[in-house]
Amino acid sequence: MWDVLLLFITGIAIGKFLKPKVKIEKILPYMAYVLIFIIGVEIGNEGILSQLPEILFFSLLIAISVMIGSIIAVKLSRVA
Amino acid sequence: MMYSSIIPLLLLILGIAVGSFVKLQLISTTISLLLYSLILLIGITLGRRKIVLRVKDLEAPVLTLVGTLIPGAIVAPIIGIPVNVSVAISAGFGWYSLAGPLITKICGAKAGTIAFLSNLFREAISLALARTISEKIGCGALVASIGAGSMDTALPFVAQVCDYNWVVRSFISGLVLTLLAPLLIPLLLGL
């Protein structure tokens, strides 16, 4: 947990104070794609494919709940 | 579903197919290395931006935060996972490429897959319904519904259906949520 936080904060500090010129924004989506593929491989390796209908249902439930929750929060505050 | 959401979904399916037939070694190590690099680079990208935040601009992301985390806690008993894990999944705010790998690393493949898909669905459904939400409910609701993606992938969609003011607020809301997600997810999972 702390390793992730520390890396993130270190990254912000590097970006703010050293301002590297490398075009990181172009690399990020490809890194994310590789990561997603490898996660897929791990899911396949762990054999949780049989639970996919349940996983899909849970994922949709969370997605729709948080969307509705966010919309309600904004409507209640009259920001919309 | 939008083009930007189809590529990651296809890659995930391809990876699952490969992983079902081929047992690969060092997968966890590879995920950790890639994830650490990704988080460091995301931090650098955010650190380079010069943004001046006003209190008024924080209204939308704060409401999105509250409106996201509370339902995340409510659905936990239905799903049968600990409340902190369910809330951490929600705290991805639609940033599936971060939430999926991060939660996979800490909680395992099942929770990670739910995190990836739920955040992907959030972005995809919000974009698919962008016009309807903005016209029937309002642009604030659209920005809140999208979550973290409102600063990048979804910004053109917001610009299409909302006025300039909302484009700026959408960007700031996405930025704040993008800053919060990598902090909140590990903190919540540490509870």
- Residues B119-162: pLDDT tens digits? 999 988 998 888 899 999 999 999 999 999 888 778 888 888 88
One-letter amino acid of A59: S
Distance CA B179, CA B171 (A): 12
With CA atoms as reference, the chain B residue closest to A3 would be B36
Cβ separation A55–B42 shorter than 8 A: no
In terms of Cα–Cα distance, which of B134, B110, B150, B120 is closest to B16?
B110
Task: Quote the distance between the C-alpha of residue B100 and its chain's center.
Answer: 9
Distance CA A62, CA B71 (A): 8
Cβ separation B36–A3 shorter than 8 A: yes
- The minimal CB distance from B43 to the residues A2, A12, A44 is found for A12
Q: Which residues contact B123 (CB under 8 A, 6 or more apart)?
A: B2, B5, B94, B96, B146, B147, B149, B153, B154
User: Where residue A44 falls among pLDDT bands split at 50, 70, 90?
Assistant: confident
Number of helices (H) and strands (E) in chain A: give both, helices first.
3, 0
Distance CA A41, CA B22 (A): 8
With CA atoms as reference, the chain B residue closest to A32 would be B97
Residues of chain A positioned with their CB less than 8 A from the CB of B102: 4
Cβ separation A34–B34 shorter than 8 A: yes
Cβ separation B186–A68 shorter than 8 A: no
pLDDT digits (tens, 9 = 90+) for B84-119: 999 999 999 999 889 998 999 889 888 999 999 999
Where are chain B's structural domains? 3-189
The predicted pLDDT at position A79 comes to: 55
Question: Residues A73, A78, A79, CA angle at the centre, nearest 5°?
Answer: 80
On whether the CB atoms of residues A11 and B39 are closer than 8 A, the answer is: yes
Cβ separation A32–B39 shorter than 8 A: no
In terms of Cα–Cα distance, which of B99, B69, B50, B62 is closest to B176?
B62
